[in-house]
Structure 1
Amino acid sequence: MTVQTERLRARIADQLGRARDRTARLADAVDDEDLTRQHSTLMSPLVWDLAHVGNQEELWLVRDVGGLTPIREDIDQLYDAFRHPRRDRPRLPLLDPTQARAYVGTVREKVLDLLDRVPLEGRALVADGFAFGMIVQHEQQHDETMLATHQLRDGEPVLQAPPPPPARVPVGGEVLVPAGPFTMGTSTEAWALDNERPAHRVDVPAFFIDAAPVTNAAYARFIAAGGYDDPRWWSEPGWRHRMTAGLSAPLHWLRDGDGWAYRRFGRIAPVRDDEPVLHVCFYEAQAYAAWVGKRLPTEAEWEKAARFDPATGRSRRYPWGDREPTAQHANLGQRHLEPAPVGAYPAGRSPLGVHQLIGDVWEWTSSDFRPYPGFAAFPYREYSEVFFGPAYKVLRGGSFGTDAAACRGTFRNWDLPIRRQIFSGFRCARDPRAGEAD
C-alpha cells in the first residue's frame, strides 16, 4: 500500500466520521417523539433521514463496493426517496429511533472494515475513493436537510452555536466581470458529482455582479416600497405563486413594531440589517432584482465570478484559490447557525473582489438545471438526470448549513422555484450600459 493510498483511506475515514458526528448531533438534539414527528409536509421525519443515510451507505458501500451480504434488504423500499413523497413518509413502517441508530451503526462498522481492504483504484466507482466520497456528500446533504427541518420545528431551542464573526471590511456596489471564455465545471475533481462534469469552455459576455449577497436591509426596502403588491416586478408564474401562497416577506420573518424580527431555530430576534437575506424563493429573488433594475445572474456568470482568475486565465477550485475552506474563508458546516454579516470573510473573496460566494446562503441563479455538454450519468440516473429541465432552478455556493465536503466552486444545487424552507438567498447581476465595459 502506498503512502498516497494510506492518506486517502485516512481522509475517507475522517470525512465519514465528521458526517456521522453531525448526523448524530442533529438527531440527538431532540427526543424520540420529535424524531418521528413530521414538522412540515415539505420535510421527512428526522428519523427517516437518519435511516436513509445508512441505507444508501449499505446499498453503495456494503453491497456494491464490498460485495457483502445485505444487512436489511427488507427496508430498501421504505428509504427509496423516489418511491415515497416526503408528505407520505410518516405513515410508513419506519425503523424507530433505537432501531435506526442500531442499523446505521452496524452499516458503518462494516464500511470501516472494508475501507481497510478494498482497492481504491480500477473501476470508476472506487477509483480515488469516489463511492466513499459520494456517500460522505450524500450524508452531509441530508444533514443540511435535517438542519432545515430543525428550523421548521416548533418548541424550545435545542441547537447551539457561537455567532459568526463580525464584518471585517466594508463591501458594497458591483464588480465588473470582463467578457471572455472560462472553464466551467470540472473533469479533475475526484469526488465531483456527475452534474459538475465535464469541464468545458463557456464564453461569457461582460457583466456586473453584486460584490455581496443582497442584505436584509436592502430586502426590507423592497417590502416597504410595496414590492410584494406590485405585479410589475414579478414574472407571470411568480405573481401567481405570490398570490396563491400569500407571500409578503421572507419565510420566518415576523412583524416587530415598525420593523422585522425572525424566528431562527426556536429563538426570535430582530432582523440584522447587514446579514444576507435568507429563506426567499426564486420568484422573490427575481422580483427584487427587477425592482432594482437588475436580474439574477446566470449559472455560468456566477461560476465565472467565483472561479475565474484574470491574472492566470484559469478557474480555481474556490474563489480564494485551490485550498480547502477554513474558518477564515467561509461560513460553512453549521459552525454558526446563521449567515455572517456582509464583509465577514475578506480572505474568501474572489480575484475580482466578489465576497461570500461560498457559504452563508445558497444563491439562486436564473438558470434551469441542465446537463453540461458531454454529460454522462454516474453512477445512477436518479442523482441528476431525472431532474434536468425547466422545472428546477440552479442554486450555487452553499450555506452556513452546507459542509465543505459538499461545497466547491463547481458544486450545483437545484430546487423548485417556489421553495424557501432551504437556506436560500441571492445576489443580483446586470448587463453593462454603453461604455461601462470598455
Structure 2
Amino acid sequence: MTETAHDAGALRERALTTLVTARDRTTLLTSCVADPDLTAQHSPLMSPLVWDLAHIGNQEEQWLLRAVAGQEAIRPEIDSLYDAFEHPRADRPKLPLLPPGEARRYAAEVRGRALDVLESTAFDGTRLTEAGFAFGMIAQHEQQHDETMLITHQLRRGPQALTAPDPDPVPLFTGPAEVLVPGGPFTMGTSDEPWALDNERPAHRREVPPFFIDTTPVTNGAYLAFVEDGGYDDPRWWAPEGFEHIRRHSVTAPLFWRRDGRQWLRRRFGVIEAVPPHEPVMHVSWYEADAYARWAGRRLPTEAEWEKAARYDPAGDRSMRYPWGDADPAPEHANLGQRHLRPGPAGSSPAGESPLGVRQLIGDVWEWTASDFLPYPGFRAFPYREYSEVFFGPGYKVLRGGSFAVDAVACRGTFRNWDHPIRRQIFSGFRTARSEAP
C-alpha cells in the first residue's frame, strides 16, 4: 500500500468514526423521550428537537450528497423549512415540519448514501474534499446540534430522560489560584488543522502583554459569594445594558438556581439538587461573568489571552493543538462528549493541564472572554458566509474551550464559539484574569 493510499484510508476511517459517533448521540437524544416531546417547543430560545433532527439530515444531504457527490436532491421542497436563517427558532413549531418518524427515515436515508459517498471520494480534489474536510464539517455540525439538543433537554420540564455517570471525585484543589502567562508574541489560530473551520483561520502572530489567569474556572461557591454580597443589586459591577437587562428580567442568580430557605438548589436535566460548591459555575451570561470579575477586582481574559494560556508552550516557543500537546483528547485530558452530564470539580483532569499550569481549559464549561467575535487578519469565508461571517461584530461575545456537552471533533485549542451576551441557557462559565502589575 502506498503512503498516499494509507493516508486516505486513515482519513476515511476517521471520517467514518466521527460520523457514526455523532449519529449515535443524535439517536440517543431523540429516542429518550416520546414523540410529543420531540415536536414540542420547550423554550422559544430553542427549536423543537424534531427540527434539529431533520436539519442535521438536510445539511448532510446538501453538502455530502449534492456538493461533494453531485447527486440530485432527495427532498428539495424541505430545504427552506430547515434553513436556520430563514426561520427564527421561536417560529419553527408553526412550520409544516417532518413528523418524527419521517424525519428519522429521511436522516437515515441521507446517512446511508453519505457513507457510500465517503467510500468513493478522493481526498485530493477540491478544497471541500481535501483531507476529508466536508465530512469533518458535517460531523462537527451534527455534534453542535447535539449540544443544542442537550440544551433543549435541560430546558425541558418533566421527569429525567437522560442519565450518565458523574465525573470521578477529585481531591479539593489546593494549587495556586492564578498563573502568570508571560508576555510576548504567540501564534493564534491555525492554517494547517485539516478540519478547522473558517473563523479559526489563518494562523497569525499576536502580541500579548504578561497577565495572570485563574488556574481553574470560577466555581459555584465563589460565585455564590458574589450573589450573597448583593452583586445582582449593585450597578457598580455591571455594564449599564447588562444591569438594565437583569432588572427587566428579574435575574438574581444563575439560570436554574433557586433559594430554598438557607440552601441554594438547581435543576439539572430534570433532577433538583444542591448547588455543588466546587463545580464550575454554569448557565451564566457574559454580563454576569463580567460583573463577577469586576466585583472580584479582576476582568475577563481577552480571546487572545485565553488562547495563549491554552496553547502556548514556552519551552518550545510554539502553539500546540491542545493544552496538553498535539494528541487528540482522551478521557484523562478533558470532560467532553457527554460522557457526564455535568462539569467536573475545579482542578479536575490534571493530565490536561497546560505547560503553564492552567487546568480545565478544554471541556467542562464554555468560557466567556472579553472579546467581540471578529475575523482574523486574512479571514476568508468557507464554504459559506453564514457559518461565521454574518455574525462578526459587537453583538456577539466569544466563548472558548468547549463544555462537557461538546464532542472532541468540535473542540480544539483554536475552536471559537460565540453568542449574545445575554445568553444563559448554554453551558457557559468563565475564569478571570488580571494584568501584571507594572
The corresponding residue for 1:67 is: 70
CA distance in 2: counterparts of 1:132 and 1:161, whole angstroms: 28
Q: Which amino acid aligns with 1:73?
A: P
Per the alignment, residue 52 of structure 2 pairs with 49
1:83 aligns with 2:116: no
Which residue does the alignment assign to 2:233? 229
Decide whether the 8 Å contact of 1:275 with 1:340 is kept in 2.
Answer: yes
Output the CA distance in 2 between the equivalents of 1:411 and 1:151: 24
Give, as a single letter, the amino acid of the residue that structure 1 aligns with 2:85.
F
- Separation in structure 1 between the aligned mates of residue 348 and residue 418 of structure 2, nearest angstrom: 26
Instruction: Quote the Cα distance in structure 2 between the aligned partners of 1:317 and 1:2.
Output: 26
Shift of 1:254: 1.4
Q: What is the match of residue 206 of structure 1?
A: 210
3-state DSSP of counterpart to 1:128: helix
User: What is the aligned counterpart of 1:217 among 206, 217, 221?
Assistant: 221
| 1:164 partner letter | P
Q: Does 1:318 align with 2:322?
A: yes
State which of 396, 409, 430 in structure 2 corresponds to 1:405: 409
Q: Tell me what 1:35 maps to.
A: 38
User: What is the one-letter code of the residue matched to 1:238?
Assistant: G
User: Which ranges of structure 2 fall in alignment gaps of 5 or more residues?
Assistant: none
* Match in the other structure for 2:242: 238
Identity of aligned residues (%): 66
What is residue 338 of structure 1 aligned with on the other side?
A: 342
1:109 to 107, 112, 118: 112
Deviation sequence 1:61-101 (CA, Å, 0-9, x none) = 00010111111111000000000000000000000000000
Match of 1:394 in 2: 398
Q: Which residue of 2 aligns with 1:139?
A: 142
In 1, the alpha carbon distance for the partners of 2:175 and 2:322 equals 19
Task: Pick from 135, 147, 154 the counterpart of residue 151 of structure 1.
Answer: 154
Structure 1 segment 171-320 matched on structure 2, within 5 A: 171-320=175-324
Q: 1:421 aligns with which of 422, 425, 431?
A: 425
- What is the Cα deviation at residue 376 of structure 1? 0.3
User: Residue 149 of structure 1 aligns to a residue in which SS?
Assistant: helix
Matched with 1:120 is 123
Distance 1:124 1:165 in 2: 42
Q: Deviations over 1:270-318 (max 9, x none)?
A: 0111000000000000000000000000000000000000100000000
1:331-362: CA deviations, max 9, x gaps? 00000000000112100010000000000000
How far has the Cα of 1:118 moved from its partner? 1.3
Equivalents in 2 of 1:102, 1:51: separation in Å? 9
> Cα distance, 1:170 vs. partner?
3.1
One-letter identity of the residue aligned with 1:301: E
Match of 2:163 among 156, 160, 177: 160
Equivalent AA in structure 2 for residue 173 of structure 1: A
Q: Which runs of 4+ in 1 moved over 4 A?
A: none
Give the Cα separation in 1 of the matches to 2:27 and 2:249.
34
Task: Give the stretch that moved more between structures: 170-179 or 45-54.
Answer: 170-179
Question: What amino acid is aligned across from residue 303 of structure 2 in structure 1?
Answer: E
SS at match of 2:395: strand
- Report the CA distance between 1:122 and its aligned residue: 1.6
- TM-score w.r.t. the length of structure 1 is 0.98
Alpha-carbon shift at residue 259 of structure 1 (Å): 2.1
Residue 257 of structure 1 and its aligned partner are, at CA, apart by: 2.0
Matched, 1:9 2:3: no
Taking the aligned partners of 2:260 and 2:308, their CA distance within structure 1 comes to: 40
Which residue is equivalent to 1:368? 372
Once the 2 structures are TM-superposed, how far is the Cα of residue 172 of structure 1 from its aligned partner? 4.3
What is the distance in 1 between the residues matched to 2:329 and 2:393?
A: 31
Q: CA shift at 1:432, angstroms?
A: 1.3
- Residue 381 of structure 2 corresponds to which residue in structure 1? 377
The answer as to whether partners of 1:370 and 1:389 remain within 8 angstroms in 2 is yes
Aligned mates of 2:263, 2:129 — CA distance in 1: 54
1:181 alignment partner, SS class:
strand
Bigger CA drift: 29-38 or 232-241?
Answer: 232-241
- Give how far 1:167 is off: 2.0
CA distance in 2, matches of 1:245, 1:80: 30
| Cα displacement (A) at 1:228 | 0.3
In the TM superposition, residue 384 of structure 1 has moved relative to its aligned partner by: 0.2
Aligned mates of 1:165, 1:344 — CA distance in 2: 9
Q: Does the CA-based 8 Å contact 1:120-1:129 persist in structure 2? A: yes
Unmatched runs of 5 consecutive residues or more in structure 1 = none
TM superposition score normalised by structure 2: 0.98
CA distance in 2, matches of 1:74, 1:86: 20
Please state whether the residue corresponding to 1:116 is helix, strand or coil. helix
Q: Is the 8 A contact 1:172 1:212 kept in 2?
A: no
8 Å CA contact 1:187–1:197 kept in 2: the answer is yes
8 A contact 1:260–1:271 mirrored in 2:
yes
Distance 2:194 2:407 in 1: 17
For residues 207-266 of structure 1, the C-alpha deviation after alignment (integer angstroms, 9 at most, x for no partner) is: 000000000000000000000000000011111111112110000001122121110000
Range moving further from structure 2, 291-300 or 240-249: 240-249
Shift in CA distance, 345/170, structure 1 to aligned 2, threshold 3 Å: farther
